[in-house]
Amino acid sequence: MAVETTENGNGSASLLDVRGLVKYFPIKRGFLRRTVGTVKAVDDISFDIREGETLSLVGESGCGKSTTARSIIRAYEPTAGEIIFKTEDGDSIDLAQLSLVEMRPFRRQMQMIFQDPFSSLNPRMNIYEIISEPLLVHGIGSSSEREDRVAELLRVVRLRPEYMRRYPHAFSGGQRQRIGIARALAVNPRLILADEPVSGLDVSVQAQVINLMMDLQDELGLTYLFVSHDLSVVKQISNRVVVMYVGRIAEIGTPEELFDSPKHPYTAALMSSVPKPHPSQRTKRYVLEGEVANPANPPTGCYFHPRCPFATDQCKVEVPPLVKSKDGRFVSCHRADEIELTVN
């Protein structure tokens, strides 16, 4: 499925095609700020996002999932790679090559939702000002049209338009996250990059926001790139999931594939770590030993080999490419077709 788009490029259904994306951050030290090393935050990854789907990036902290999202929207300058975006009239444009001015119209089509609803809204701006700012930036509408649009957006995210003149402090966390969503929707984007959008919310409010995001996707035909470390939330919202480990992709698949029959030992370990929803399912956990590799000084070969129970000599030297396995899944593991993995 994903083959067409990642392998021969112009898959008709993909809205965004990320190819060989690399983002290194220099480590600067000393008086002269000389570069003494690089943090390989994102290290040659390729995946595509299809129109209307939710693609999730998961992994532990520091695995490069947020850096990937930020590089796509060019909040970070990618070190290398292509970010092919399909425009509304069907053209393909490599966003990585655009200047910041040329990038501007595409920014309108890609909006972000942030993690912390308490720091992502300016406390000195009222809700009308916050939500209408993207319209102002992109020069859309007259002031009365903007006001109508903000009222409409507030209704879309199930908030009362009368609240428009209130300030963020008057809202709860879940309400603030809705305001953040309304702001992202203001310019009618096609792709929403949501970076841990429900992590800062109380559990009783999380479901409201997830349901809202899924409803909006159906109503407005949105495509989501969803970044999260919460695998239960990811399982609920995603059509496909990309599992990342230290800047590289371990595995891509549907939630069911990854959760029920993982191919990469890291995916299996990750899934096994998730707490079981009922005490009767308590089992001996497959606890991953050791620590996440340091992206400034990663191990040789497969980055996961020091923690992998199946590692061979080959894994210590050779980087496993992300390849299609026998049953059409994408896995980067030398032994994907030999080993039997179960999640318990």
Partner 1 sequence: MTTETRQPTAPLDSGFRRNDVAAPLDSRVRGNDVASARNDDMSGGNDVASARNDVASSGNGESPVAGDAILSVRGLETQFFTDEGVVRAVDGVDFDVLPGTTMGIVGESGCGKSITAKSILQIVEAPGRITNGEINYNPSGDAGSATDLLSLGANSDAMRSIRGGEISMIFQEPMTSFSGLHTFGNQIDETLRLHTNLSKQERFDLGVDWLARVGIPNPTQRMHEYPFRFSGGQLQRAMIAMAMCTNPRVLIADEPTTALDVTTQAQILDLLQRMQEENDMAILFITHDLGVISEIADDVTVMYLGKVVETGPVFSFFDEPKHPYSKALLTSIPSMFTSSRERLPSISGSIPHPQNRPMGCAFHPRCQSFMAGTCDVGEPELQSVNEEQEVSCFLYEGQ
Amino acid of residue 104: R
Stretch that binds partner 1, among 79-87, 131-139, 253-261, 309-317 (CB under 8 A): 253-261
- Shortest distance, CB of residue 19 to partner 1, whole angstroms? 27
Q: From the CB of residue 199, how many other CB atoms can be counted at a distance below 10 Å? A: 14
Closer residue to partner 1 (CB): 190 or 235: 235
- Shortest distance, CB of residue 55 to partner 1, whole angstroms? 13
Stretch that binds partner 1, among 28-36, 79-87, 185-193, 279-287 (CB under 8 A): 279-287
Footprint on residues 24-43 left by partner 1 (CB under 8 A) = none
Going by the DSSP 8-state scheme, the letter that residue 81 receives in this structure is E
Among 71, 238, 267, 332, binds partner 1 (CB under 8 A): 238
Residue 244's DSSP bridge partners are 249
Cα separation, 297 vs 267, in Å, equals: 22
Cα separation, 199 vs 120, in Å, equals: 14
- Shortest distance, CB of residue 183 to partner 1, whole angstroms? 19
Footprint on residues 280-339 left by partner 1 (CB under 8 A) = 280-282, 285, 287-288, 291-292
Cα separation, 111 vs 117, in Å, equals: 15
Stretch that binds partner 1, among 188-196, 197-205, 295-303, 319-327 (CB under 8 A): 197-205
Size of the site for partner 1 (CB under 8 A): 48
Answer for the pair 39, 27: CB distance below 8 angstroms, yes or no: yes
Closer residue to partner 1 (CB): 21 or 231: 231
In the stretch 47-66, what mask flags binding to partner 1 with x, by CB under 8 A?
A: -------------xx-----
Cα separation, 138 vs 150, in Å, equals: 15
Stretch that binds partner 1, among 64-72, 135-143, 269-277, 309-317 (CB under 8 A): 269-277
The DSSP-derived string for 285-320 is --PPPS-PPPTTSPPSSSTTGGG-TT--HHHHHSPP
Cα separation, 306 vs 149, in Å, equals: 54
The gap from C-alpha 344 to its chain's centroid, in whole angstroms, comes to: 26
- Shortest distance, CB of residue 141 to partner 1, whole angstroms? 31
Footprint on residues 198-237 left by partner 1 (CB under 8 A) = 202-208, 210-211, 214, 229, 231-233, 235-237
- Quick check: helix, strand or coil at residue 179? helix
Q: Does 116 bind partner 1 (CB under 8 A)?
A: no
- Quick check: helix, strand or coil at residue 43? strand
Tokens 């956990």 belong to residue: 285
List interacting residues with partner 1 (CB under 8 A). 60-61, 172-175, 202-208, 210-211, 214, 229, 231-233, 235-239, 254-256, 259, 269-282, 285, 287-288, 291-292
